[in-house]
A and B are shown apart, each in its own frame.
Chain A
């Protein structure tokens, strides 16, 4: 019998070898990296195919990675770059837009503003995608009167765990719709959405500024006057024990308010980007002294009181976008943004939290206080009526974890909670306690993703 040479069985694939599409991903805070296979689907069919083939480490959509913690990464999984979903269809009859989920607010504004429209909600950076805005149900300076992003969405297309495209709306499969708003990408992949726009007649914002000597006067002024403004936010000097601050409020300026020069092109929109922060900055650069100096300068720069100043959109809404990659100033240790909401009855926690952060020596570079209005029906949406405080803190501060856990406890006891898009450190127990509709949401999610393929490092860390 002629013996054929035994066919060599294929050598097992080397599990330590790197694939070309592997990328280390972090959030904006540059902490806790994990590696994922980053893939860019070019069409709905490609996307459905990727979802169908998703492995046991799961799959997740990522926008521009502007969430601070681990919401947009999935260790060992497939992470979808959604930038090919980039269509923008403006409907001037209904005053709505239908945009691909990978479209950024930055590019939307470039199309919308010259046409006389503004997005219904913008976060403090325009470098977020429509998908990210929906998944985190982002809020802006107008939350106290107009609610969060999801409240303005009429319809969205979602590729679920079944690999099907679901056409969702507040009136169609409402449960699936609201589970997706604020659902942190865990119910599926949004491919496009239709939402309301704000008609504008100029690209300028008419801004009123008040400087307040202490936190009490900041809060009193906000309670009294915020409701008469569409946009309002306060910056707080986190270094000064007084908690002094600057409140800026405003609305889109009517074209009638523009001077002759501005009136020539009332809808002109040219946001400026100044410079990129150097790639390597010693973490010592941002210390108690530089933070103190920065906060002092910011306070001094503001007028005691000024009415009707006309500011460009970028200056009013997205001041940080002026410096690209500013997140690098915190150095290689990265940073966290701690953001909670508490009901009005627990407003005293604002002062207490700032005091505890000062005591632990965690210099907050930028601290923002805002009032929230009514919540929407989304089970995992963060905003609820009350106060929300956001503070940037370097991650490598001794004792920071214990202090934040302590504040978490008080926030939870008062009926408040933390924002998933900013979180990088809360405990799963905190989530279970402060998002009372978590189990209900999980039930709906399991129906939409029976194989449990949509996951993220955030979801793993918090047992979502």
Chain B
């Protein structure tokens, strides 16, 4: 149970080795944290994630198997987690950037990005929502992106999956409104993680720690949407309304 001071006892991370998600877990108040489940595909990154949280003295950190693309398994995975005890906070963090160039040549690669980022998220998101509804409390944090606000030439496959995910998460938040469960949609800009390693940095680039802090504050305040960094909200407000030719020019420059 989340307590009166906003201290969670249990957290489930979908995409358990996501750098942004791990920093978020580290930034959470942890005086009451006793169960942290890192759900992801078994690999070295997941193993390292468990180690890094455990090394900080966080109790009850455990890896569980989860593949965003294997939607048939989602119901069982989520039921297994919630049957063993309430979950106060779920962070839906998995996602792949994909290679736009390659995807245009081989559409099956675009399907892969869409299946992970959108289809997988819709599937597991609904299963999570069902269980949060049933337990009558809990928050779901969905990592969308500023890319959801306006798709760019350079990564519109990724952008379109985030746009779909973002719309889905907003609707889910509305469906859960007033039910004790809630959804927080997070729209980070460029964040320095392995996902963006080697790419030229965009203006207003942040670190995963910065995003984490913004998420934790927004949860405490009960917000429904948040940008990271915050001022990106105004930037994207302008971007969304730019005429196509102007936006095309700007995004071409940015690559």
Contacts and interface: CB of A to CB of B under 8 A. Distances in A.
A57 B5 contact: no
Interface string B1-33: 111111101000000000000000000010110
Interface stretch (A28-36, A96-104, A158-166): A28-36
A32 B2 contact: yes
Interface in B168-189: 175-176, 178-181
Given A16-B129, A16-B179, A57-B134, 17 more contacts: A15-B133, A16-B130, A31-B3, A32-B2, A33-B180, A34-B1, A34-B135, A34-B137, A35-B180, A36-B136, A75-B136, A75-B137, A76-B133, A395-B6, A425-B4, A425-B5, A457-B1
A317 B175 CA distance: 45
Given A76-B135, A405-B31, A427-B32, A29 B86 contact: no
Contacts of A404: 5
A7 to B, nearest CB: 25
Interface in B104-122: none
Contacts of B129: 15-16
Closest 9 CB pairs of A and B: A75-B136, A35-B180, A424-B4, A31-B4, A76-B136, A35-B136, A461-B1, A34-B137, A15-B130
A16 B2 CA distance: 21
Contacts of A402: 31
Nearest to B138: A75
Given A24-B180, A75-B86, A16 B5 contact: no
Nearest to B130: A15
A29 B5 CA distance: 11
Nearest to B179: A35
A16 B1 contact: no
A22 B180 CA distance: 10
Contact of B7 (A16, A36, A77, A425): A425
Contacts of B220: 396
Interface residues of B, number: 26
B136 A16 contact: no
Nearest to B220: A396
Contacts of B2: 32
B151 to A, nearest CB: 29
Interface residues of A, number: 34
A460 interface: yes
Contacts of A457: 1, 137
B123 to A, nearest CB: 14
Contact of B4 (A18, A35, A334, A460): A334
Nearest to B176: A16
A424 B176 CA distance: 24
A70 to B, nearest CB: 7
Interface string A397-414: 000111011000000000
A247 interface: no
A405 B7 CA distance: 12
A329 B67 CA distance: 47
A353 interface: no
Interface of A: 15-16, 18, 22, 24, 29, 31-36, 57, 69-70, 74-77, 334, 336, 395-396, 400-402, 404-405, 424-425, 427, 457, 460-461
Nearest to B9: A461
13 contacts: A15-B133, A18-B178, A34-B180, A74-B136, A75-B135, A334-B4, A401-B7, A401-B31, A424-B5, A427-B32, A457-B137, A460-B86, A461-B1
B139 to A, nearest CB: 12
A427 B31 contact: yes
Interface string B29-52: 101100000000000000000000
Contacts of B134: 15, 57, 76
B198 to A, nearest CB: 38
Nearest to B175: A16
A94 B142 CA distance: 64
B179 A400 contact: no
Interface of B: 1-7, 9, 29, 31-32, 86, 129-130, 133-137, 175-176, 178-181, 220
Nearest to A397: B5
A334 B6 CA distance: 11
Contacts of B7: 401, 425
Which of A18, A34, A457 neighbours the largest number of chain B CB atoms within 10 Å of its CB?
Answer: A34
Nearest to B127: A15
A57 B136 contact: yes
A18 to B, nearest CB: 7
A34 B88 CA distance: 11
B178 to A, nearest CB: 7
B8 to A, nearest CB: 11
A24 B177 CA distance: 11
A460 B135 CA distance: 11
Contacts of A395: 4-6
Nearest to A404: B5
B90 to A, nearest CB: 15
A65 B159 CA distance: 48
Contacts of A18: 178-179
Nearest to B131: A15
B202 to A, nearest CB: 32
A461 B135 contact: no
Given A77-B136, A401-B31, A24 B178 contact: yes
A460 B2 CA distance: 10
Nearest to B3: A425
Chain A CB count within 10 A is highest, among B1, B31, B134, for: B1
Contacts of B1: 32, 34, 70, 75, 457, 460-461
A435 to B, nearest CB: 18
Contact of B137 (A16, A29, A33, A405): A33
A424 B6 CA distance: 10
A79 to B, nearest CB: 10
A31 B3 CA distance: 8
A401 B1 CA distance: 15
Nearest to A75: B136
Nearest to A24: B180
Contacts of B3: 31-32, 70, 424-425, 461
Contacts of A36: 136
Contacts of B4: 29, 31-32, 69-70, 334, 336, 395, 424-425
Contacts of B5: 31, 336, 395, 400-401, 404, 424-425
Residue of A24, A33, A401 with most partner-chain B CB within 10 A = A401
